[in-house]
Structures are given as structure tokens and as C-alpha cells.
Chain A
């Protein structure tokens, strides 16, 4: 069964450093999403992406965040200058054009900012 994959599974970085989280969505999916979950809190929407542009973003997704689909398979989330409060699990999700509209989530990347 096709699945969303994410790398790395765990990333440790120092405050102020740039990080890039990588996702490979399911191959025929056209809508892509990033969510995050701070430890012990709710899963929060960050951004949705379709047709090579951002379709919606939350208040969390400020100028320090960016997304990109650099080729036909990868979908990345970049945080330019990490802060301690960026420590969280980051989940990528994708869905197909039609069907049940369900979103398929990856296993997540745990980002720890020290």
C-alpha cells in the first residue's frame, strides 16, 4: 500500500539554525499539507499546497517558514531560523484529487531545537 514518507525521523538543531524537513507524498496525490504537534498538544495545521503554490496557511506559518516542491516527488518544509518553540512533531500529509478526500499522513519528523 502506498504511503507518505518523511525524513529524517528525528532532527536535532541549535536555535537560529535552518532546517529542512522532507516528505515524499503518495505519487498520484496533488494536495499537500504540513501539520505540527507540540508535545502533549493538539495537531495544528500549518500550510496546504496545490498546483505549486500555497493555498492556505495558518498564523503559525510566518515568514520563517517556507514550503517547496523542488521536483516531482519531494515536498519540503524549511524553517529559516529555528526557535525553541519550534520543537514539535511535524507531519506531512497528501491527498488525491477526488475520491474520499481523506488525507494520508506520514510518520512525522521530531524536531528538537536546543
Chain B
């Protein structure tokens, strides 16, 4: 699985958009970008994933650059409850890897949302 680089920490004002960047310059064609978050030692929580098109769900938006070497997770209206560590993970899609594949977590970005 390709390596990812994320800033160690970011701040965001409540109600504003939080834009969390991730670099994955060695990503290969069959690798997806997944985002998870971990709120204060709870179990990680899936947020969103994508291959090459931008994706949006009820939690966030994912913008992937055309060359797929970087992406940005957008929380459109951050709340205090969004304070967490956000992990960008690149992994081969399970349908190509036998289905089991583990998640490899890096250090992530610690997002602090303040009033």
C-alpha cells in the first residue's frame, strides 16, 4: 500500500470548513484513498473513500487531484465533535487483494475545532 503524508495538526474554527490534506504521490492505479477518524481513543470511524472522482456523503467531501497524488478531506461545517485524529489511508481495493486487507494507520492529523 502506498505511503501517505499528512500534517501532524490543524486548527479550525467551529462552523468553518476544515480542509485536511493528504499526499500520496506513489499511489497506484488500483489503490483507493480512505479516510477514517478517531475521536479520543474510541475505535476508528470510517468517513469516506474514493478512487479518482470526488466523493461526498453526509459526513464529508473528498477531493482527489487529477493525477491522484494528493487529496483533501473537507468537513464543510466543523463542529466541536469533529475534534479527532484523521487518518488518510491508501490501500488496494479489497476486490483486487483477496478481500481481507488490513488498514495501515499512520500518525494522522490531529484536528482541533475551537469555538
Binding site for B on A (CB under 8 A): 4, 31, 33, 35, 37, 42-45, 48, 50, 55-56, 58, 89, 91, 93, 97, 100-108
Contacts and interface: CB of A to CB of B under 8 A. Distances in A.
B100 A31 contact: yes
B102 A48 contact: yes
Contacts of B93: 101
Contacts of A91: 43-44
Interface of B: 34, 38, 41-46, 49, 87, 93-95, 98-107
Given A43-B105, A101-B93, A55 B42 contact: no
B72 to A, nearest CB: 20
15 contacts: A33-B102, A33-B103, A35-B103, A42-B106, A42-B107, A43-B38, A43-B103, A48-B101, A50-B100, A100-B46, A101-B93, A101-B95, A102-B46, A102-B49, A105-B45
B87 to A, nearest CB: 8
Closest 9 CB pairs of A and B: A105-B43, A102-B46, A45-B102, A43-B105, A55-B100, A101-B94, A48-B100, A91-B43, A105-B44
B103 A45 contact: yes
Given A91-B44, A93-B43, A105-B43, A56 B100 contact: yes
Nearest to B46: A102
A79 to B, nearest CB: 19
Most buried by B among A55, A93, A101: A101
Contacts of B105: 42-44
A92 to B, nearest CB: 8
Contacts of B99: 31, 50, 97, 101
Nearest to A91: B43
A28 to B, nearest CB: 15
Most buried by B among A35, A43, A50: A43
A89 B42 CA distance: 9
Contacts of B95: 101
